[in-house]
């Protein structure tokens, strides 16, 4: 069960930190479910869609952010290798946090995420539909025709099935880079998804597979819920195309299962894990095509929506993974993992520029 204790009693904090200086700051500790401190865990504070500061926990699993680092901050995330990442909303009324990370066993393709077993509902559960309709009102929608850019640390590599879904931060690029997409391309992707389903063959008119930009040969193109269509799970098109039903709770929190209504074309199945405020904490998905399946799927962990009155409230992944089988090799997978540091949306279809002060050389 996931446990989050916020606003710990002073006497408990004194045992962990010693005397607390009477200044405006945030202190906390990251633990495993047995109460053992997690050393070297990454803790990040966010202001809307931008990372403000990042630190690692010390020998006792503790972390501290100064007043200067907390300007406009409204969210915090924590992650450690082998554990399920955690994101939650934060307010200045909370000067101390106790964050418990749950073990995250690497998922098999059919499971996709620890605890989020993929099942395919064959009909709507009206109560699940109502809950989804309510939660999506907590988000603003990114216009499909608007360009976006994301600053991220990431890696693409070949891995084995047992390593699917893991994020090893030490293997990610040391200097964050930027990646962007023109609004017209984003809009075309959504239009194809609506008309033709959740995958598109990459074979040409002669049946040959075209190489992707990295020189790899894959059978299918898939929509990018982890990047270019980040808010797909709260889009109206998602509700139209999917059956929705309740799945088993994870850590006492509800899950909404989804599965495409039309299985005669490529479709998607997956699960949404909700946070305590009924926003989306995680999503997991699996793509289904014809007999040439690549066991493609993904998993994303989301930033909590900003505080009331702060805009915009987009559904944005703080971190994500995506994988698919390599060329029919059952034991090897193409695997992409990413930690996102900043999301920027342009006022029009053009790809917005990252602030020059945050764009690393050669990005």
pLDDT digits (tens, 9 = 90+) for 97-145: 999 998 875 443 344 444 445 568 888 999 999 999 999 999 988 888 9
Residues 317 and 200 in one domain: yes
Q: Confirm whether 300 is domain-assigned.
A: yes
- What pLDDT is recorded for position 359? 39
Q: Domain boundary residue among 66, 100, 134?
A: 100
- State pLDDT tens for residues 230-252: 999 999 999 999 999 998 887 78
What is the domain range of residue 77?
Answer: 4-100
Q: Confirm whether 111 is domain-assigned.
A: no
Mean pLDDT lowest among 73-77, 158-162, 190-194: 158-162
Residues 300 and 178 in one domain: yes
Residues 81 and 137 in one domain: no
Residues 94 and 132 in one domain: no
Return the CATH number at 95. 2.60.40.10
Whether the predicted pLDDT of 74 surpasses 50: yes
Q: Can you list the positions of beta strands (E) in the chain? A: 4-6, 26-31, 42-47, 50-56, 62-65, 75-79, 86-89, 96-100, 148-160, 177-181, 200-201, 220-221, 242-250, 253-260, 267-274, 280-288, 297-302, 317-326, 329-345
Whether the predicted pLDDT of 306 surpasses 80: no
Q: Confirm whether 261 is domain-assigned.
A: yes
Q: Confirm whether 161 is domain-assigned.
A: yes
- 37, 60 Cβ separation under 8 angstroms: yes
Residues 217 and 343 in one domain: yes
Q: Confirm whether 132 is domain-assigned.
A: yes
Residues 50 and 179 in one domain: no
HSE toward the beta carbon, residue 333, CA cutoff 13 A: 24
Q: Confirm whether 61 is domain-assigned.
A: yes
- What pLDDT is recorded for position 111? 43
Residues 221 and 330 in one domain: yes
Residues 144 and 279 in one domain: yes
Q: Using CA atoms, how far apart are residues 300 and 279, in angstroms rounded to an integer? A: 14
For strand 220-221 and strand 280-288, is the pairing parallel, antiparallel, or unpaired?
unpaired
Mean pLDDT of the chain: 82
- 241, 233 Cβ separation under 8 angstroms: no
Is 77 exposed, middle or buried, given 0-12, 13-18 or 19+ CB atoms closer than 10 A? buried
- If one counts the domains in the chain, the total is 2
Look at 24 and 177; give whichever has higher pLDDT. Answer: 177
Whether the predicted pLDDT of 350 surpasses 80: yes
Residues 92 and 141 in one domain: no
Residues 145 and 250 in one domain: yes
Q: Can you list the positions of beta strands (E) in 123-262? A: 148-160, 177-181, 200-201, 220-221, 242-250, 253-260
Residues 282 and 318 in one domain: yes
Q: Confirm whether 108 is domain-assigned.
A: no
Q: Confirm whether 30 is domain-assigned.
A: yes
Q: Using CA atoms, how far apart are residues 223 and 232, in angstroms rounded to an integer? A: 10
Residues 68 and 173 in one domain: no
Q: Domain boundary residue among 85, 100, 115?
A: 100
Whether the predicted pLDDT of 62 surpasses 80: yes
Whether the predicted pLDDT of 152 surpasses 70: yes
């Amino acid at each position: 069960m996931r446990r989050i204790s916020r606003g710990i009693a002073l006497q408990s904090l004194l045992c962990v930190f010693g005397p607390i200086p009477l200044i405006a700051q945030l202190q906390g500790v990251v633990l495993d479910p047995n109460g053992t401190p997690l050393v070297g865990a990454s803790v990040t504070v966010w202001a809307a869609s931008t990372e403000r500061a990042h630190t690692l926990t010390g020998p006792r699993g503790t972390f501290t952010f100064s007043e200067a680092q907390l300007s406009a901050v409204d969210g915090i995330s924590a992650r450690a290798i082998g554990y399920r990442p955690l994101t939650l909303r934060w307010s200045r009324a909370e000067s101390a946090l106790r964050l418990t990370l749950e073990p995250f066993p690497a998922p098999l393709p059919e499971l996709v995420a620890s605890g989020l077993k993929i099942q395919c509902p064959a009909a709507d559960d009206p109560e699940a539909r109502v809950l989804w309709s309510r939660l999506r009102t907590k988000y603003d929608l990114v216009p499909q025709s608007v360009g976006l850019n994301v600053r991220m640390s990431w890696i693409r590599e070949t891995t084995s099935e047992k390593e699917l879904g893991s994020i090893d931060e030490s293997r990610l690029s040391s200097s964050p880079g930027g990646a962007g997409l023109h609004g017209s391309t984003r809009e075309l992707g959504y239009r194809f998804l609506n008309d033709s389903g959740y995958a598109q063959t990459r074979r040409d008119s002669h049946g040959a597979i075209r190489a992707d930009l990295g020189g790899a040969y894959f059978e299918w193109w898939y929509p990018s819920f982890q990047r270019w269509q980040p808010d797909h799970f709260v889009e109206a098109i998602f509700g139209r195309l999917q059956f929705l039903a309740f799945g088993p709770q994870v850590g006492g929190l509800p899950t909404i299962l989804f599965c495409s209504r039309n299985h005669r074309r490529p479709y998607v199945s997956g699960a949404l894990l909700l946070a305590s405020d009924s926003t989306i904490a995680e999503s997991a998905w699996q793509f289904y095509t014809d007999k040439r399946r690549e066991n493609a799927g993904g998993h994303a962990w989301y930033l909590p929506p900003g505080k009331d009155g702060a805009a915009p409230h987009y559904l944005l992944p703080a971190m994500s993974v995506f994988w698919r089988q390599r060329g029919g090799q059952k034991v090897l997978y193409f695997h992409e993992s990413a930690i996102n540091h900043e999301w920027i949306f342009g006022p029009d279809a053009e790809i917005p520029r990252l602030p020059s002060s945050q764009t690393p050389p050669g990005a």
